[in-house]
Amino acid sequence: MKRIKNKTLTKIGLFLMAVLLSFHIFVPSAAAGSVSAQSAVLIEQHTGRVLYGKDVHKKLRIASITKIMTAILAIESGKMEDYITVSNSAVGTEGSSLYLVPNEKIKLKDLVYGLMLRSGNDAAVAIAEYVGGSLDGFVYLMNQKAREIGMVNTEFANPHGLDDHENHYSTAYDMAILMKYAMDNEQFQEISGTKLYRSPHPEEEWDRVWKNKNKLLTSLYPYCTGGKTGYTKRAKRTLVTTASKDGMDLIAVTLNAPSDWNDHIWMYEMGFDKFEPTKVVKKGKIDDINDPYYEKKVYVKRDFVYPLEKDEKGSIKIEATLIKPNKELWKDEQNIPDIVGRLDIYQEDEEIGRLPIYYKKGLSIDEDESFLEKIKNLFLFILGVQSNG
């Protein structure tokens, strides 16, 4: 009996150890303070502010996170509902595959879902040949778009990220800039955040079913909203993901990261804990304008929100620059331009934002608001809904 009891205890001990190890794999240590990646960055999605960085401009291989660029170019082509014919060269592409059939006709949209969820290299080539006219033509479009959006340390040589070119590389920061750009597109957001997708199979009665490889999205991190995985023997593990919590949207990138799931969770938790979206400028009338010509007449049309640490709120400085009024010409308000200046927003000495300043023609902003309030009160009186009940 004693030996059996010891064996039972040993099995229980091994089971508990396995459970603890599984938690260690996916739950980052709060005291870690760093990431396993060779290069990593965390940015706020809308402003691009870097919240964490490690060798962010180091040029490295990027593997299948390349496909973020392939996907956004396909979406922007406006041909997502087109049916395309899959070539033999696309079917023969090595590595991860959707197992496309030679000469099958498939929607470009389905290919983009397969590209992003299952990382199909065959899909990447099929997309490139259709959207770019050829692989070389598509690579040209990739590099053109990279220059347009400010990816200054990036060169693309293929649409999938395989290790077949030496001149295919990027940086953690550039890939964050690419994801920031892509996430402004609603269709890309939807595809990136899809956990499961079905596509008709041309030779079978059943559909192809593609489950997203991004485990942060499907199981590990409840705030993850999308992303793209990558791996090759030379690039190692690469990962781009997005996450949203408490009104703040973040993007994380890791290159050559043995523990990328942990890295991303650690960066997100640090970012959500240390920073909060702060309304630095509120839309509406601009106060503290000394020029009597502009007083109570100028405003901004939108809020400016910026991620700040709690002790950074006093570091914000706002400067208004207004054009000199042409009082003779502007006697007729129709001659006054709609935009009469700009609002520059600084944190310490770094400019973090700029908003156009608009001129309110007719009633002053205060008078206009007062008039609207009177109309509102009159409307409520007619309905019999007065403040005294």
Contact at 8 Å (CB) between 261 and 240? no
- In the predicted model, what is the mean pLDDT of residues 155-172? 97
The whole-angstrom separation of Cα 383 and Cα 375 is 13
Q: What is the pLDDT of residues 252-283, one digit of tens each?
A: 999 999 999 999 999 999 999 999 999 999 99
User: Is 89 assigned a catalytic role?
Assistant: no
Cβ-contact 216, 265 below 8 angstroms: yes
Q: Is the full-model pTM beyond 0.75?
A: yes
Pick the catalytic residue from 119, 170, 192, 259: 119
Answer CATH for 32-274 from 3.40.710.10, 3.10.350.10, 3.40.50.300, 3.20.20.70: 3.40.710.10
Per-residue pLDDT band for 367 (boundaries 50, 70, 90) equals low
Active site residue 119: yes
From the candidate CATH numbers 1.10.150.530, 3.30.1340.10, 3.40.50.920, 2.30.140.30, the one assigned to the domain spanning 282-383: 2.30.140.30
Confirm if 372 and 284 have CB atoms less than 8 A apart.
no
- The verdict on whether 67 is a catalytic residue reads yes
Distance CA 36, CA 215 (A): 18
Please state, in angstroms and rounded to a whole number, the distance separating the CA atoms of residues 175 and 41. Answer: 9
Let me know: does 267 contact 52? Beta carbons within 8 Å: yes
| Residues found in the chain | 389
DSSP code, position 155? B
Which of 67, 228, 285, 297 is labelled catalytic?
67
Q: Is the model's pLDDT at 187 over the cut of 50? A: yes
Q: Give the bridge partners for 65, in sequence order.
A: none
CA separation for the pair 269, 48 (Å, rounded): 18
Of residues 364 and 185, more confidence is placed in 185
pLDDT exceeds 70 at position 373: no
Task: Map out the domains of the chain as residue ranges.
Answer: 32-274, 282-383
Q: DSSP letter for 100, please.
A: P
The number of C-alpha atoms within 13 Å of 112 and in the hemisphere containing its C-beta is 29
Contact 227, 239 (CB under 8 A): yes
Of 119, 73, 61, the closest CA to residue 94 belongs to 119
Given 64, 96, 170, 259, which residue is catalytic?
A: 64
Please answer whether residues 257 and 239 qualify as being in contact, where contact means their C-beta atoms are separated by less than 8 angstroms: yes
pLDDT band at 13 (very low <50, low <70, confident <90, very high): very low
Distance, in Å, from the CA atom of 180 to the CA atom of 330, rounded to the nearest integer, reads 42
Q: Which residues pair with 347 in a beta bridge?
A: 316, 350
The average pLDDT across 123-133 equals 98
